[in-house]
Chains A and B, each alone.
Chain A
Amino acid sequence: MKTIDHFLKGLKNSLASWRLGIVLFVFKFICALFLVIPLNALLSESFEHNLYASSFLTRLDLTLIIDFIQSNIQGLKVYLVFFLLTLVAAVLLNIFLSGAIFRLLCDGFRRGYYSFTIGHFFRLSGRYLFRLSRLFLYSLLFYIVVIAFHLVFAELSKAIFGGFSASFRFAWIFVRLAITGFLAMLVVMTFDYAKIHVVSVRHIKVKMTIKEAMIFVGKNFGGAVLLYLLLILGLAATVAIFWGLDRGLGLLGTSTIVLILTFLLQQTLSVVRSFYRLLIFSSQISFFDDNKKVLPRFQEEQEEEESAEST
């Protein structure tokens, strides 16, 4: 019941923080737009006046796609470099924004309100940038460890289960993937709690936040995992609903209005997923606060800020 309680509190807080959801969505939308514009130019050139392009209305005609790739191979190679660089930029931008988002979500949850002005938002983003960047690098390290574990585990499995039946080995691949997925989830979760530490305590070392977060997850393992699984389940249900609606719209034909509705549906899901990220963070903040008393240093900082705001 407590897990559901955190989920609901998180939902309430994320809805109250709707501006942050919009920020996340707009950020994602602009990055996607930036990435898609050059590709659209190539697509338009190949398909805009192409009679066979009408097949895209009903299916993905791979013959046309193969021809498109081969006839634009040089342009696509350049685009791929651009795409990867933009992805890296998007990740860096996300690190920049996430400090403010976490902090404002914490404020909203703990104080019941948060101050959203452009200046304040970017000031908070700047304040946590350095520490969150370091946290990001550490998280990469953890992911590398998880991948290495997966590879070693795969080799070990091959050595141990090599003589077993193929059906067993095939099923074991899924078990291995599930274990790796679970470990990756633990990393994501731990670093989410580390971020809560970072925005809650000003003068704490990054390594210390990771250690604290790991201790926190270790001590509240069941609750933390259960909450995360509930959040994943919710996300899966949301995506399934979208998939059903998308299929349903597909049955209505391929008229312009249906295509526009499909696009709007896609963007609705995109908005929902942005809000869902807030929901994940907020639920975790609720769980964090419930299981670890508000840190004294955080209280001091809060008071400092309140007095600064009043003056």
Chain B
Amino acid sequence: MSKLKPQLRPGLFLPGIILSFLAGSALSEEALRVASYDIEVQLQLAEKSLSAREHIRYTNHSDYLIDTLYFSLYPNAFRDENSLFLRGYEKLRKRCKRENNWASLDIKRIVLGSDQLDLSSQLMPLSEHDMTVVKLPLAQSLRPRESPDIHIEFDVKLPEVIDRLGYRGDNFIIAQWFPKLGVFEGGRWKCYPYQQNTEPFADFGDYRVKITLPENFVAAACGYLQSERDNGDGTRTLGYYAPSVHDFAWAADPSYEIFTDTVDQIEIELYLKPDHTNKAGRILSAAKEALSYCSGRFGRYPYNKLTIVDTEIAGNGMELPTMITIGVRYFPFCWNRFEQAVVVHEVVHQWFYGMLASNQAEEAWLDEGLTTFVTAKILEQMFGEGNFVDFCGLQFGAYQMDRLTYLWEPSTDPIYQPGWEFDSELSYFASTYSKASLALKTLEGHLGSEVMDSVLVIYSRKFRFRHPTTFDFISIAEEVSDEDLSWFFAPVLFGTEVCDYAVSEINSEKREENEQLVYDHRIKLRRLGEMILPVEVKIVFADGQEIFKQWDGSAGHHEIELQSSSPIEVVVIDPDRKNHLDVNFNNNSKTSLPQADAVFKLQTRIFFCIESLLQWVTAF
């Protein structure tokens, strides 16, 4: 079992390892532009709609001939009750129907190259009832390196607050709003109908977007504001430029107040509604902390600006390249830090989504799991254990949150699985966020924190501005640790087994040998779950002596027999708490003497609480 110990001496060799891995691959500040977009859009306030023109410069960077183009038309997820997305959310479907609240994206005209022929009639939806993906067969296949221009004119009808797009009053969040090409990878298009638990997947490119909106509106968008023009008709046009990104979104509200701060020469612009300005300091400081942490480890944040937008429309928070949204609430008490947690989470996504643009639809854990794992580290560094709530001695943090969610659905779905195959939203959340984060923490426990840091550093730098996969991550982890980690990744990422090891029995018999007392001990360990992970056992004796034993964890039970001159005080499985996937820490140890004081304290507190409750309920 000593093989399981990392062979590296982290303190001495790791910087060298990182350098050797990254040698010859200078940190990229720019992405390979596959699909760049120039968009001119006008917000029509009265109609709650957008009308836009889009020019896409697409380059076939593959070695294949491409005979069809695939476009994602996200707003059509809310076009009618038959869409795949709404069929997955019964309550939302009923609500949309009841309120007659629908959205749509209609392509009015599509032209390829200099040809003026409108091809919109040739667009074909991927499935009969769902219009979120359409394909356009090409008259002539695109050769490698060929770079056609695509011109599209389209209208978007905005819904009133559904998922990530729409409006509430005068507050607009315009995300996933334009026809966007899928990713052509490995000889096939990866462009997924929008449905339950899926996220868009796109190539990098440059975005130049001109937004025309009423002059009293304050707009926030991805990238940099480059131009501003008063149109003289009560509207103004704002020109944004976002280089090396794979998406573009914007928000608008007449009441936004802007707060700014800088960290490491990165300007943070925070757009808050007037009611929430009391939160500006907290949000900005959380964003600065997260940007510093990630820039220092996972490669410099390559943009000069990060925009944070307050909108309750997109839920608690949403990540977009160079921009994050957060649903701020007016709640002045500082013991609640959920908003800081959301800000940190979304800022970390600037790396594990923004720059490492994995396929969120098929392997969401790479974005969400890694982000949740890093977020927990940052929050712990910022606020300690009670990093979500620290109230009257009660501490609840990111770790407890992950554990709570994971234990709710520990075995319904594997971590690695396409989003639409998850049993439910909760199971998706439990697997891709919480279980994945705890799995990474377990891997860190096994490899050691310095090796794990190196894995993340090398992974994040090597695949910057690319589309890394799960197998890229595994290979980096194995290369850095110089260890075959299939024993870990196979059950943890691809299986649904539950991990639960327990100390079952301790039997000791005392006898006399050569006028000395000798204890014969028999310790029984059990594997209560199906997942097999190596187990470290620590045995502590009454005289202070400690013994460590290893068990490969494969059998249903395992016995340790040993002799000592002293009775056993305690037997502990995983004494350094490295395995965070074990579903029950309470059976991981057995003490020979009862923990009478601790149990007494717990029981008497509960007793007193029940007495107080009785006092209340009988006080009518």
Task: Tell me the complex Cα distance, A57–B599, Å.
Answer: 9
Q: In the complex the two chains form, is B583's CB within 8 Å of A67's CB?
A: yes
Stretch at the interface among B121-129, B155-163, B403-411, B484-492: B403-411
| B599 interface neighbour in A35, A44, A51, Cβ under 8 Å | A44
Given A29-B611, A53-B598, A191-B620: A67 and B591 within 8 A (CB)?
no
A51, A59, A266 pick with most chain B CB within 10 angstroms: A51
Say yes or no for B394: interface residue by CB 8 A criterion: yes
Task: Tell me the complex Cα distance, A293–B403, Å.
Answer: 64
| A56 interface neighbour in B400, B570, B572, B598, Cβ under 8 Å | B598
Chain B residue with minimal CB distance to A246? Answer: B608
| B585 interface neighbour in A59, A64, A259, Cβ under 8 Å | A64
A255 to chain B, nearest CB (A): 8
| A62 interface neighbour in B400, B584, B613, Cβ under 8 Å | B400
Q: In the complex the two chains form, is A63's CB within 8 Å of B400's CB?
A: yes
B280 to chain A, nearest CB (A): 13
Against B, the Cβ 8 Å flags (1 = close, 0 = not) of A29-72 are 10111011001100110111111111111011011101110110
Q: Point out the residues of chain B lying under 8 angstroms from A270, CB to CB.
A: 608, 611-612, 615
Q: In the complex the two chains form, is B604's CB within 8 Å of A50's CB?
A: no
B409 to chain A, nearest CB (A): 11
Q: In the complex the two chains form, is A50's CB within 8 Å of B393's CB?
A: no
Say yes or no for A277: interface residue by CB 8 A criterion: yes
Given A39-B606, A62-B395: A32 and B407 within 8 A (CB)?
no
Q: Which of A166-208 contact B (CB under 8 A)?
A: 166-167, 169-170, 188, 191
A164 to chain B, nearest CB (A): 10
Say yes or no for A263: interface residue by CB 8 A criterion: yes
Say yes or no for A16: interface residue by CB 8 A criterion: no
Q: In the complex the two chains form, is B610's CB within 8 Å of A32's CB?
A: yes
Against A, the Cβ 8 Å flags (1 = close, 0 = not) of B562-588 are 000000001010000000000111111
Q: Which of B591-620 contact A (CB under 8 A)?
A: 591-592, 594-604, 606-608, 610-615, 617-620
Q: Point out the residues of chain A lying under 8 angstroms from B617, CB to CB.
A: 87, 90-91
Q: Point out the residues of chain A lying under 8 angstroms from B403, CB to CB.
A: 63, 66-67
Given A67-B586, A70-B584, A139-B620: A254 and B604 within 8 A (CB)?
no
Given A35-B610, A91-B617, A188-B619: A259 and B586 within 8 A (CB)?
no
Chain A residue with minimal CB distance to B604? Answer: A263
Q: In the complex the two chains form, is A170's CB within 8 Å of B332's CB?
A: yes
Say yes or no for B396: interface residue by CB 8 A criterion: yes
Task: Tell me the complex Cα distance, A40–B596, Å.
Answer: 12
Chain B residue with minimal CB distance to A94? Answer: B618
Q: In the complex the two chains form, is B599's CB within 8 Å of A262's CB?
A: no
Task: Tell me the complex Cα distance, A63–B585, Å.
Answer: 8
Given A47-B598, A60-B394: A70 and B408 within 8 A (CB)?
yes
Say yes or no for B274: interface residue by CB 8 A criterion: yes
Say yes or no for A114: interface residue by CB 8 A criterion: no
B564 to chain A, nearest CB (A): 18
Q: In the complex the two chains form, is A62's CB within 8 Å of B396's CB?
A: yes
Q: In the complex the two chains form, is B583's CB within 8 Å of A71's CB?
A: yes
Chain A residue with minimal CB distance to B394? Answer: A60
Number of A residues whose C-beta is below 8 Å from B? Answer: 59
Q: In the complex the two chains form, is A256's CB within 8 Å of B597's CB?
A: yes
Q: Which of A133-182 contact B (CB under 8 A)?
A: 136, 139-140, 165-167, 169-170
Q: Point out the residues of chain A lying under 8 angstroms from B619, CB to CB.
A: 188, 277
Task: Tell me the complex Cα distance, A167–B403, Å.
Answer: 35
Q: Point out the residues of chain B lying under 8 angstroms from A90, CB to CB.
A: 614, 617-618
Say yes or no for B399: interface residue by CB 8 A criterion: yes
Task: Tell me the complex Cα distance, A273–B585, Å.
Answer: 38
Q: Point out the residues of chain B lying under 8 angstroms from A56, CB to CB.
A: 598-599, 601-602
Task: Tell me the complex Cα distance, A40–B612, Å.
Answer: 17
Q: In the complex the two chains form, is B618's CB within 8 Å of A91's CB?
A: yes
Task: Tell me the complex Cα distance, A60–B385, Å.
Answer: 12
Q: In the complex the two chains form, is A64's CB within 8 Å of B586's CB?
A: yes
Say yes or no for B590: interface residue by CB 8 A criterion: yes
| B601 interface neighbour in A31, A44, A46, A259, Cβ under 8 Å | A259
Task: Tell me the complex Cα distance, A19–B583, Å.
Answer: 50
A139, A166, A254 pick with most chain B CB within 10 angstroms: A166
Q: In the complex the two chains form, is B591's CB within 8 Å of A51's CB?
A: yes
B395, B570, B583, B598 pick with most chain A CB within 10 angstroms: B598
Q: Point out the residues of chain A lying under 8 angstroms from B393, CB to CB.
A: 59-60
Q: Point out the residues of chain A lying under 8 angstroms from B585, CB to CB.
A: 52, 63-64, 67
10 further A-B pairs in the complex, CB-CB below 8 A; given A32-B607, A53-B586, A53-B595 = A32-B610, A32-B611, A35-B610, A62-B395, A63-B585, A70-B584, A90-B614, A170-B332, A256-B597, A267-B608
The 8 closest A-B pairs by CB, nearest first: A166-B275, A166-B330, A51-B589, A94-B618, A70-B407, A266-B608, A56-B598, A32-B610
Q: Which residues of A contact B (CB under 8 A)?
A: 28-29, 31-33, 35-36, 39-40, 43-44, 46-57, 59-60, 62-64, 66-68, 70-71, 87, 90-91, 94, 136, 139-140, 165-167, 169-170, 188, 191, 254-256, 259, 262-263, 266-267, 270, 273-274, 277
Q: Which residues of B contact A (CB under 8 A)?
A: 274-276, 278, 330-332, 393-396, 399-400, 403-404, 407-408, 570, 572, 583-592, 594-604, 606-608, 610-615, 617-620
